[in-house]
Chains A and B, each alone.
Chain A
Amino acid sequence: GQQVMQIPQYQHVQEGEDFTTYCNSSTTLSNIQWYKQRPGGHPVFLIQLVKSGEVKKQKRLTFQFGEAKKNSSLHITATQTTDVGTYFCAANTGGFKTIFGAGTRPFVKA
């Protein structure tokens, strides 16, 4: 069935360095969403991308949707300790189901 591959699963990041997580799908997506889950918490919606090649920014977070609408990335500039948690991409192919990636967890070292 439909799968969304997200990499890396974990990454050690020095505070102040940049960090990127990637999502890839074998099929064209209607849209892609990004969620953040703090340790012990629940996923919280960050943003949705719909258009081919779309780029959106939220402060230090930059989200991109690929031209073919099969991949997406989340780039965090100057990572801070407040960025800890797990970042998930979630893809919708047009129906009611949303498929989540396995998540990327940055380990931020001060």
Chain B
Amino acid sequence: NAGVTQTPKFQVLKTGQSMTLQCAQDMNHNSMYWYRQDPGMGLRLIYYSASEGTTDKGEVPNGYNVSRLNKREFSLRLESAAPSQTSVYFCASRSQGNADTQYFGPGTRLTVL
């Protein structure tokens, strides 16, 4: 039981390049989330998927797209990377059993030059 996994762990891009961040969970959770974390700003929601087949914008969706490929996988795509997208990206899945808990992946540290 790996929980939430993310790839890659680190990435350096040049401005204008594209890439996809991968996320998978093995806990059979319906909801999945993508956050970015910048120093002093906490976690900001980019996109979320309440269930397989649905996606919705969060607080900061501009410059990103997402795909909920199946119940396990939720990917985040940067079509044309910008230096302002330099950040740490966390994927999470949400349990809504006895405790409303989010389980986070280890994060992807992205630098855009």
Among B33, B42, B45, point to the contact of A102 (Cβ < 8 A).
B42
Decide if B99 touches A43 in the complex (CB within 8 Å): no
Contact of B90 among A43, A47, A92 (CB under 8 A): A43
Number of A residues contacting the other chain (C-beta, 8 Å)?
A: 24
A100 at the interface (CB under 8 A from B): yes
Question: Is A90 in contact with chain B by the CB < 8 A criterion?
Answer: yes
| A interface residues, Cβ below 8 angstroms from B | 1, 6, 9, 31, 33, 35, 41-45, 47-48, 88, 90, 92, 96-103
Interface residues of B (CB under 8 A from A): 31, 33, 35, 40-45, 48, 50, 56, 58-59, 90, 94, 99-107
With A96-B31, A96-B50 known to touch, is A102 a contact of B40 (CB < 8 Å)?
yes
Chain B, residue nearest A100 (CB): B43
